[in-house]
Amino acid sequence: MARFTKIEVLATMQRTGMVPVFYNADLEVAKQVVKACYEGGVRAFEFTNRGDYAHEIFGCLNKWTAKECPDMILGVGSVVDAPTASLYIQLGANFIVGPLFNPDIAKVCNRRAIPYTPGCGSVSEIGFAQEAGCDLVKIFPAGNVGGPSFVKNIKAPMPWSMIMATGAVEPEEENLNAWFKAGVTVVGMGSKLFPKEAVVEGNWQAISDKCRYALDIIAKAKQ
């Protein structure tokens, strides 16, 4: 069962403005990355469903996080079907994210009051997702569907929209300022936060520093 309410999850994402996106088949590596992000100020983290037995890794990681990083909200990404969403919800996922919009996932998540953030590439998809109860929608792949200008053009006629941008987001001032100036609620960030060499070398401090740097930029951009 999720440890955080739907309102708490969405409020945390809105307040911090960033959700790291990460997957590793090694549980110990995943723990260290979550811990590094936590120490860098992150409070919502997306573990992606991208490898064999990923749900087993997540189940163990979620139990560990509850003890070691008690304020960290752990969710799951890359979910494309309702059975997978149900599996992760049973393992304690606090939110579900996907690269596409699947109404069946919305039903499963709504029934359990779990936030579902689907990937949308058009204004119509965003509208259908909102109609299905998705408070926060993801534009994906953000850089390919139009970047910050796409967000700005959505917010003009649909100012109530809460948007997550994932893809083409970097922990750099110019990039993050552009996204938040356009009107995103939160950004999802993957490989740019987790340089391969830092993970291989176990340089967890470097990841904490990147998170802290990005969150500082976002805080200023939102003022």
Q: What is the CATH number of the domain that holds 23?
A: 3.20.20.70
- How is residue 208 written in tokens? 């904490």
Against a cut of 0.85, is the pTM above it?
yes
pLDDT of residue 223: 86
pLDDT digits (tens, 9 = 90+) for 68-123: 999 999 999 999 999 999 999 999 999 999 999 999 999 999 999 999 999 999 99
Integer Cα distance of 78 and 100 in angstroms: 9
Tell me, yes or no, whether 221 lies in a domain: no
Burial of 219 (0-12, 13-18, 19+ CB in 10 A): middle
Tell me, yes or no, whether 79 lies in a domain: yes
Number of other CB atoms surrounding residue 113 within 10 Å: 11
Check if the beta carbon of residue 138 is closer than 8 Å to that of residue 158. no
Range of the domain at 17: 6-215
Tell me, yes or no, whether 1 lies in a domain: no
Residue 137 CA: distances (Å) to CA of 65, 98, 223: 26, 10, 22
pLDDT digits (tens, 9 = 90+) for 6-27: 999 999 999 999 999 999 999 9
Tell me, yes or no, whether 142 lies in a domain: yes
Tell me, yes or no, whether 158 lies in a domain: yes
pLDDT of residue 174: 97
Q: To the nearest 10°, report the CA torsion of 132, 57, 143, 219.
A: 90
Tell me, yes or no, whether 223 lies in a domain: no
Number of structural domains in the chain: 1
